[in-house]
Chains A and B, each alone.
Chain A
Amino acid sequence: MISQGQSLTQETLVGHYAGLTSRLLAFIIDTIILSVIILFTSWFVATTWRLLQLGPIFSELDQRSTILANLTMVITSPLFYSLITLLFIASYYIFFWTIAGQTPGKGIMGLRILSRRGNRLKLRFAILRYIGYYLSIIPFGMGIIWILIDDRRLAWHDKLAGTCVVYAWEAKPDETFLTIETSKLIARTQAVRAYLEKKRKAG
């Protein structure tokens, strides 16, 4: 089916599974974007509310109808705002995953979410993936840390929705840096292990 695609990806990591740092950085960028949008929207809504003096109007209406009073109570409650915010965050992720295969944060970091067969994410899988986010974060982020252990760098939410995150740019790791630093790391680990072994025997 594909003939020239191989030449595209011979020397770079295009289409290879993305690691934890890139994904975490993309997540942080998305969080910043979302925070800015939410803060600005909250400020705008609060200012409009004050400017149009909606508070006195609603209290006036509350006195006339019980249904309206209940409705006002719901609208002005912090729980309602929290739900709206959560819904907005979910919509942000799900919308970008299904439309573009990447959120703005992932776009900046050059990452793309695909199904494990290489197809674009469908809505139901995107929703499932978003639910999986919470499942990954709640047990002390174990589902996210799983990326470091898994052979295909899949988090729990990826496993749940059948997705994977890949590099969407011609990524190349710094070989020299990695060779030097990894060998240092191995040497240090071996030294620690030898010390612990020695201590265990002595004990």
Chain B
Amino acid sequence: MGHEAPGSPKRRSNIFSLTRLVIGGALAGYDGLVKRLAHSEAELDIKDPAIIGPAGEMDNTSQYPSDNVLSDNESQSDRLRYAVIGLIFDTEGTINKGLDTADQLSLRAGRLFDRVASPIYGSRIFSPIRSRVDKLAQRGQYEVDRWIELGRKEEQRSRELAQTALTEQVDNSIQYLTSNSEVQELVQSQSVGLIGEIVEETRERTVSADYYIEAWARTILRRPMRSELPEPPQELKIRALPFKRIQGKIIKK
């Protein structure tokens, strides 16, 4: 009970979904990473255009190191490290070039072999084998075409699945954050703190304005400026405070 047969549709569907999710996630992640890297590279290029690009992009003048590159401040180990890093980047360019050359060479070799072998291959001796080989090649081509078609469909579906899973996960996370009382308390305390600061600042400024406008009005009315306000009765000072604060401070006889 509950165990699914290895080939059952549900198990197959789960594996399919998981595979799609993995592939979709990898593709989406790869796309995002490539975009991010391209953006960072562009930013770096703007900041420091003197950075040497990949081997394939270098021009002839920049291939030779300047005096700045071989600075006296660098130790031998530093130079060795730089040389290894440079070699890695240079190798990438060289490999690309090599692959292009190998591709062209294999194409030429294939054509040459075809030209040389076609009289033998097209002869009557090979005719029974030829039809079988053609059928085999046809079947192979059909299989490859099927893979391409499947890959095309699956890539699309995998991307959609990964996108949906990601969106749902983000939604769930947001929902969790909004329903979490600790997070709510944090946001509330931040907002209240900000409002409190604004109120405090306004109050402070208006207290100063109280004095300034008074001084201004008294000057116009030719009344003497007062150095300080008359002292209010002690009861007023105490009662002015909120009741909770008074409680702890008043000691009644």
State the A residues within 8 Å of B (CB).
Answer: 1-9, 13-22, 25, 108-110, 112, 114, 116-120, 145, 148-149, 151-153, 164, 166-169, 171-174, 177-178, 181-182, 185-186, 189
Contact = CB atoms under 8 A, between A and B. Distances in A.
B204 interface: yes
Contacts of B214: 19-20, 148
B249 A8 contact: yes
Given A174-B204, A185-B215, A20 B238 contact: no
B221 A149 contact: yes
Nearest to B217: A148
B230 A151 contact: yes
B251 A167 contact: no
A43 B217 CA distance: 42
A4 B208 contact: no
Contacts of A189: 219
Nearest to B205: A174
Nearest to A23: B210
Given A4-B250, A148-B218, A117 B213 contact: no
Contacts of B49: none
A8 B206 contact: no
Given A2-B238, A15-B237, A171 B232 contact: no
B213 A20 contact: yes
B3 interface: no
- The prevalent SS among residues of B at the interface is helix
Interface stretch (B15-23, B58-66, B120-128, B239-247): B239-247
Name which of B210, B234, B253 has the most chain A CB atoms within 10 A of its CB: B210
Give the size range of B's interface with the partner: 35 or more
Contact of A114 (B203, B210, B221, B240): B240
Contact of B236 (A7, A15, A149, A178): A15
B199 interface: yes
Contacts of A145: 217
B147 interface: no
B211 interface: yes
B208 A174 contact: yes
Given A152-B230, A189-B219, A164 B238 contact: no
B237 A5 contact: yes
Given A22-B206, A149-B217, A171-B207, A17 B240 contact: no
B233 A118 contact: yes
B177 interface: no
B33 interface: no
12 contacts: A1-B253, A14-B240, A15-B236, A15-B239, A20-B213, A21-B209, A118-B233, A148-B218, A149-B221, A149-B223, A167-B240, A177-B212
Contacts of A181: 212
Contacts of A17: 229-230, 232
A186 B211 contact: no
A20 B217 CA distance: 11
A110 B215 contact: no
B232 A15 contact: yes
Contacts of B219: 185-186, 189
Given A16-B229, A20-B214, A119 B239 contact: yes
Contact of B238 (A15, A167, A186): A15
B185 interface: no
Most chain-A CB neighbours within 10 Å: which of B205, B211, B217, B225?
B211
A96 to B, nearest CB: 15
Interface in B107-142: none
A22 B252 contact: no
Given A2-B234, A149-B223, A168-B241, A25 B250 contact: no
B57 interface: no
A109 B230 CA distance: 21
